[in-house]
Structure formats: structure tokens, C-alpha cells
Amino acid sequence: MDKNWQLQEAKNKFSSLVDKALAVGPQVVSRHGVPTVVVIAFAEFSELTKKKRMKPLGDFLAGFEIEDLEKYIPERDEKLRPSIFGK
């Protein structure tokens, strides 16, 4: 369960704040009544910030048939987007 800490309380009891973050989970610290930061265990932070390896765009697009992609291309509206060639 998250616990809310006022900034002054968090400063005065920082060790307790860290212990709670490790034992219970994320701890929210507020400044002037506004939630400002969250203290979490490093292991949880590492998990949240792992970079997901993405496929190169070409590999991603190669997985589609052209018919699949065509449905995402909007119809051209000549009135709104006239050709640059004047047609």
C-alpha cells in the first residue's frame, strides 16, 4: 500500500521512508500537498526502466502484407490537399 509523506516528514524520517519503500512498496512524497516524487526500491526502478529492444522499421513493416497497410492510408481529399503538380 502506498503511503503519502509530507516533504518535511520524509526529510526527518528518510531512513524509515527507505525501509518502507523496500518492505511495502512505492512511497509518495508531497510538497505543499501536491504529490511530487515517489521513492521505490532500486530493483523495481530497474525493472520499470528496462529498455525494450525494438525491431528495425524495415523488419516491422516486412511482417505486413501491402493490403494490411493500405487500410491505414487515408483517402486523398483533393479539396483539402491539392496536388503539388496542379492537378
Query: If you classify domain 1-73 with CATH, what class do you get?
Result: alpha beta
Q: Cell numbers of 5, please?
A: 509523506
> Do 67 and 38 touch, CB atoms closer than 8 A?
no
Q: Cell numbers of 80, please?
A: 483539402
In 3D space, the residue among 20, 48, 26, 22 whose CA is nearest the CA of residue 39 turns out to be 26
> Do 7 and 30 touch, CB atoms closer than 8 A?
yes
> Do 1 and 27 touch, CB atoms closer than 8 A?
no
Taking only the tens place, the pLDDT of each residue in 11-48 is 999 999 999 999 999 999 999 999 999 999 999 999 88
**Would you list the domain boundaries of the chain?**
1-73
pLDDT over 90 (residue 70): no
State percent of the chain over pLDDT 70.
82
